[in-house]
């Protein structure tokens, strides 16, 4: 997953190696530079803080998952494809679970630091949805991304404590939460279509001139995998 010769990749790998052995809060940038065989000046050219290193790791995972994603089968729904893609993500994360468990434990009690990786976490879920074929245009896109981020965050905690090689608990939790998310999104879209159907075709301004409201958006198809 990582480029063997890239200073950036060396630093990310070094940070994860240290996080397997020590608390994330006790690891300094100098420690990471030393573990990676880099000068602090080299590290500064690549990152501004430790949260940058986590964001770089997330981006590498995104790319690896997208590279591993198989083409959708003719009868595979976006929801089923999303399930496969998220499980592929956990497969890619597997070798780093001990380090991620320490990092997650540290960030859980430090919402300020955790917020620094919020945007990259949302970006990861955007790419997972894109790979599943989910609709990512229009105002509903933000709801889908935020919804998947919430689902993924809860299932990620299950995965951290799932010791089985087959990840049965993780798969069950993901399947259950994706089903709930899909039902909620369907209800939201039905409600939006109902409200739009009640809107009048035209109304009069105070000066008496008739105004035509903007055209209704075309009705959405089946709810995507949320």
Domain with residue 81: its CATH number is 1.10.357
Q: What is the pLDDT of residues 10-34, one digit of tens each?
A: 999 999 999 999 999 999 999 999 9
Query: DSSP letter string over 101-166?
Result: HHHHHHHHT-HHHHGGGHHHHHHHHHHHHHHHT----STHHHHHHHHHHHHHHHHHHHHHT---TT
Give 43: exposed, middle or buried? Use CB within 10 Å, 0-12, 13-18, 19+.
buried
Q: What is the pLDDT of residues 83-122, one digit of tens each?
A: 999 999 999 999 999 999 999 999 999 999 999 999 999 9
What local confidence, expressed as pLDDT, does residue 29 receive? 98
List of E strands, the chain: 203-204, 210-211
Q: What is the pLDDT of residues 183-221, one digit of tens each?
A: 776 666 555 555 556 655 554 555 555 544 444 443 433
SS3 188: helix
> Which residue in 209, 220, 187, 213 sits closest to 198, CA to CA?
213
**Assigned domain for 87 exists:** yes
**Assigned domain for 71 exists:** yes
As for how many domains the chain has, the answer is 1
Residue 82 belongs to domain spanning: 49-196
d(CA 34, CA 146): 37
Mean pLDDT, residues 75-88 taken together: 92
**Assigned domain for 59 exists:** yes
pTM: 0.80
**Assigned domain for 180 exists:** yes
Cα-Cα-Cα-Cα torsion 192, 193, 199, 202, nearest 10 degrees, comes to 120
Q: Are 135 and 145 in contact (CB under 8 A)?
A: no
Q: Are 225 and 77 in contact (CB under 8 A)?
A: yes
**Assigned domain for 95 exists:** yes
**Assigned domain for 191 exists:** yes
**Assigned domain for 203 exists:** no
Q: Are 94 and 184 in contact (CB under 8 A)?
A: no
170 vs 223: which has the higher pLDDT: 170
> Which residue in 193, 195, 181 sits closest to 152, CA to CA?
181
Report CA torsion sign: 124, 71, 84, 222.
positive
> Phi, psi (5° rounding) for residue 49?
-165, 175
What local confidence, expressed as pLDDT, does residue 185 receive? 67
**Assigned domain for 220 exists:** no
């Amino acid at each position: 997953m990582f480029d063997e010769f890239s200073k950036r990749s060396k630093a990310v790998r070094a940070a994860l190696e240290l996080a397997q052995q020590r608390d994330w809060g006790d690891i300094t940038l100098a420690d990471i530079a030393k573990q990676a065989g880099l000068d602090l000046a080299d590290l500064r050219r690549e990152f501004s803080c430790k949260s940058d290193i986590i964001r770089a790791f997330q981006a590498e995972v995104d790319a690896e998952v997208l590279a591993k994603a198989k083409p959708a089968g003719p009868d595979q729904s976006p929801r089923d494809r999303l399930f496969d893609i998220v499980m592929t993500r956990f497969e890619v994360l597997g070798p780093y679970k001990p380090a991620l468990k320490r990092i997650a434990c540290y960030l859980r009690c430090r919402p300020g630091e955790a917020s620094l990786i919020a945007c990259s976490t949302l970006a990861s879920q955007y790419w997972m949805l894109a790979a599943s074929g989910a609709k990512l245009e229009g105002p509903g896109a933000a709801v889908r991304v935020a919804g998947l981020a919430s689902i993924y965050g809860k299932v990620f905690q299950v995965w951290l404590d799932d010791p089985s090689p087959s990840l049965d608990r993780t798969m069950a939790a993901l399947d259950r939460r994706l089903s709930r998310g899909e039902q909620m999104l369907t209800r939201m879209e039905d409600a939006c279509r109902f409200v739009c159907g009640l809107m009048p075709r035209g109304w009069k301004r105070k000066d008496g001139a008739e105004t035509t409201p903007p055209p209704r958006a075309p009705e959405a198809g089946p709810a995507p995998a949320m």
